[in-house]
Amino acid sequence: MSQIIGRRSFFGRASALAALAGGVEALQAAEKPGARPRNIIWMVADGMSPSVLPMAEYFSRRVRSGKGLVWQELLNVPRVHRGSMDMASLDSIVTDSSSASSSWGSGSRIFNGWVNVLPDGTKLTPIAELARDKRKRIGLVTTATVTHATPAGFAAVSRKRDDEALIAEQYLKVTDVVLGGGRKFFDAAARADKRDLIGDFRKSGFGYAASREQLLKLKSSKMLGLFSASHLPYTLDQRNSETDRELVPTLAEMSDVALQALSGGPNGFLLQIEGARVDHAAHANDAASLLWDQLAFDEAIEVALRFAEKHPETLIVLTSDHGNANPGLNGMGTEYRDSTKCFDRLAAVKSSFFAVSPRLGGTAEYTMKTDTAVAMVQKPTAERVQELARQHFGFEFTPDEVEILRNAASGQKRLSASKQLDSLVGLMGQVVGNHVGIGWTGTSHTSDYTLVTALGPGAERFGGLIRNTQVFPALTELMDVKFQNPSMEPEQARKYRAAAREQRRERPDWA
Ligand SMILES: [Zn+2]
């Protein structure tokens, strides 16, 4: 026993992990060379730039009475494996989420915007199908639409990630637990083909939940839970909306229900848990929303570790699919003495940019087309801008900043030298940044290596610098699956590029 260094005494009194020590120790003990996990929990904080973790750690201590992040603390625990991942796609150093998740889900790099399909149309076999052949149960949990890029990359095949109605149909055959948003892709009234997909899931033995209460009461080993027509609300907005708190479960609650439902089978499970709105907040340069959703993700990690205490044959991998807009806290004021004070202002922010910007006349939903972030409406008055700032952000803008926002909200361009930041969301990020100290590189994904942290049987495969395509062979081998998907070299893929660009022009509004 003395080799197990992570005794309970390892965790200090202020430790966020102390309460979870049983789970951590169980996973440490189960991580022996060559050991195979029965269960795999693959956790993705979507669009989490590496800079987010230390900022979220400070934010967590600030808003959760001194409690830090579980993820951060795991970095210092023996037998927890740490690494970085190169997430490039087949056609770009900067990946989108569907290509990123497909690289894990198939072992092959593909074009951005596609789901488990090679440029020549060859369909790849996603990891969920292979796990299912091994009689493992499959779960997808997300705060985005359940058919969004990241869950889809594990369980679907589509030339277009936007074909979410098609992706929804594919889940029927391959999943056991699907929880998140995106009811519009399942509901007969909202689907173009009027197919009652919710009814089809029910007929296949799925329990269905449309609210938090229904989910927590659901007694079923197979379940479909859809808690919003589209994405689930930002955690920050949900905290301030009684209705959303009643209707929408947290990521931790969904993860808990999913783990209980999946753990019944004789052969274990593969579960992907995605904190999706970290990415959306980064696209919107919205620091407070991003940090609150990162905390929500951390609470889901706690749930996974608690599960592991009773089920130590579980591999838990924490990672992200790409950086996004790389937020960073700047040195503020003389000798940077204002940085902490500025950052602390984020704790008082009450609403996401997504909630505030329509009141300015724009829409701050994440988008790759900066132009669409600005809706042409009447220019808001200076008083209106200040009132919104006081009410939602807890501070006032300078007169210059008010003018910038008034002009941006009414569609005036060329306010910033940066093309990406010359949009309502980009400019709002900048003027808010003057007060909270956070700067952004742009409003889109970045090429940074993502963080990887793994514990439990098989975790040793996720240390060091790894390539996204190494995940699939590692996971399939750990599931005792012998299978390799075809892949394509970048030189060969180049000739298919023009056609792919055409496709993109049809639906360019994804991220
Ligand atoms: Zn994104």
Q: Read off the pLDDT of residues 362-409 as tens digits, 9 standing for 90 and up.
A: 554 444 333 334 444 568 899 999 999 999 999 999 999 999 998 888
Residue 100 has pLDDT above 90, yes or no: yes
pLDDT for 412 equals: 74
Q: Is the pLDDT at 241 greater than 50, yes or no? A: yes
In our burial notation (b when 16+ CB lie closer than 10 A, e otherwise), range 197-226 reads bbebbeeeebbbbbebebbeebeebbbbbb
Q: Is 51 a catalytic residue?
A: no
- The terminus-to-terminus CA distance of the chain in angstroms comes to 48
Distance CA 250, CA 20 (A): 19
Cα(184) to centroid(ligand 1), Å: 21
Q: What is the pLDDT of residue 359?
A: 80
As to burial, measured by CB atoms within 10 angstroms (0-12 exposed, 13-18 middle, 19+ buried), residue 465 is exposed
pLDDT of residue 370: 36
CATH of domain 21-327+444-506: 3.40.720.10
Q: Looking at residue 374, what is its pLDDT? A: 41
Q: Is the pLDDT of residue 325 over 60?
A: yes
Domains in the chain: boundaries = 21-327+444-506, 332-439
User: DSSP alpha helices (H): ranges in 36-108?
Assistant: 52-63, 70-74, 97-106
Q: What pLDDT shows up at residue 408?
A: 84
Q: Which of 49, 97, 158, 357 is catalytic?
A: 97
Q: What is the DSSP string of 246-294?
A: HHS--HHHHHHHHHHHHTTSTT-EEEEEEETHHHHHHHTT-HHHHHHHH
Residues with CB under 5 A from ligand 1 (ion): 47, 279, 511
State the average pLDDT over residues 492-506: 74
- Mean pLDDT over 311-324 rounds to 98
Summarize the confidence of residues 318-322 as an average pLDDT: 98
User: Looking at the predicted structure, is the pLDDT value of residue 153 above 60?
Assistant: yes
Residue-level pLDDT at 151: 98
Mark residue 139 as left, alpha or beta (left: phi above 0; alpha: psi -120 to 50; beta: remaining): beta
| Residue 198, CA distances (Å) to 54, 159, 163, 335, 459 in order | 41, 24, 17, 58, 37
Instruction: Say if residue 481's pLDDT is above 90.
Output: yes
Ligand 1: centre distance to CA 283 (Å) = 7
CA of 277 to the centre of ligand 1 (A): 9
Is 269 within 8 Å of 195 (Cβ atoms)? no
Q: 103-117, 146-160, 229-243, 408-422 — which is least confidently predicted?
A: 408-422
Yes or no: say if 230 and 186 are a contact pair by the CB < 8 Å rule: no
Q: Which two tokens stand for residue 73?
A: 């603390």
**Whole-prediction pTM:** 0.94
| Cα 286 to ligand 1 centroid, rounded to whole Å | 13
pLDDT in tens, 101-147: 999 999 999 999 999 999 999 999 999 999 999 999 999 999 999 99
